Homo-oligomer: A and B are copies of this chain.
Amino acid sequence: MKIADQPLELLVRSLRLRAPLSDSDADAIRALPHNIKLLEAGTYTVREADSTPVCGVLISGFAYRQKTSSDGDRQIVSVLIPGDALDLQNIFLDVSDHSVQMLTRGEVAVLQRADVQALIRDNAAVARAMMVNILTEASILREWVLNVGQRSGKERAAHLLCEFAIRLKAAGLADQYAYELPMTQEQIGDALGLTPVHVNRMLKALQADGLITRTKRVVQFPNWEAMRNVAGFNERYLHLEVQRNGMSL
């Protein structure tokens, strides 16, 4: 059976990166009622201050979470890759505190909140996997606060590129240390708290240092260790091992 026939397989794989799921647990997830929507770049799936009874899972393409300050400045607070849940939090919170927007055209599997709630209630392993998923997202947010708060422009840009490299590789979506990043420099700036002009200069600087090569939006790392050092990157915060702590249940 092809992935196209089993869209939620991607969610299963994503959860299994960090939490153990038996075959029957996985089947329970795959069996969740859903329908697939193809969304254009720029489409919102959740809007800040809204309430929604559905929960999307990204199947193809990229998306991001964003918040807007009262001055109208945008901050991108997460970038989502295929297999990520777009709005797990809406299962438990009434009103969304941020928006989710498609970065590229892509497919989203739409689940009903009630179905997900029922599955979490009835299946402890799935509940644990979702918990690990949510906690990992919080961990990434802490790293982003550190990134934006303490690192220089060059370090920030380098760190973002490293994070994608590892996340995409872990998800099986990219070759080792070479991938296409489908973001404009303006969007990268909104993720890093920098202006697009400065992002451009920092990317050029990384290039001049021989740390990355770019052709169109494909990034490569000729010297991963050096890149890692410049970025101050340590993947611990991604929690990329199967977490055993919940296993005593």
A interface residues with partner B (beta carbon < 8 Å): 48-49, 65, 67, 69-71, 73-75, 77-78, 89-95, 97-98, 113-114, 117-118, 121, 124, 127-128, 131-132, 134-139, 141-146, 148-151, 192-193, 229, 232, 234, 236-237, 239, 241, 243-246, 248-249
For A118, the chain B residues whose CB sits under 8 A away are 249
Whole-angstrom distance from the CB of A229 to the nearest CB of chain B?
8
A-B contact pairs, 12 of them (CB 8 A): A69-B150, A74-B150, A75-B150, A77-B142, A89-B135, A89-B138, A91-B246, A93-B136, A134-B135, A138-B138, A141-B144, A144-B145
Question: Once the chains bind, are A92 and B131 in contact (CB under 8 Å)?
Answer: yes
Question: Once the chains bind, are B141 and A97 in contact (CB under 8 Å)?
Answer: no
Highest count of chain B CB atoms <10 Å: which of A118, A145, A192: A145
Cα A244 to Cα B121 with chains together (Å): 16
Whole-angstrom distance from the CB of A4 to the nearest CB of chain B?
31
Q: Tell me the number of copies of this protein.
A: 2
Choose from B95, B121, B139, B244 the contact partner of A236 (Cβ within 8 Å): B95
Cα A193 to Cα B152 with chains together (Å): 11
For A249, the chain B residues whose CB sits under 8 A away are 117-118, 121
Q: Ordered nearest first, which 5 A-B pairs have the shortest CB separation?
A: A149-B193, A70-B232, A141-B141, A73-B150, A75-B146
Chain B residue with the shortest CB-CB distance to A124: B121
For A113, the chain B residues whose CB sits under 8 A away are 245
Choose from B98, B151, B239 the contact partner of A69 (Cβ within 8 Å): B151
For A145, the chain B residues whose CB sits under 8 A away are 67, 75, 77, 141, 144-145, 148
Cα A149 to Cα B149 with chains together (Å): 7
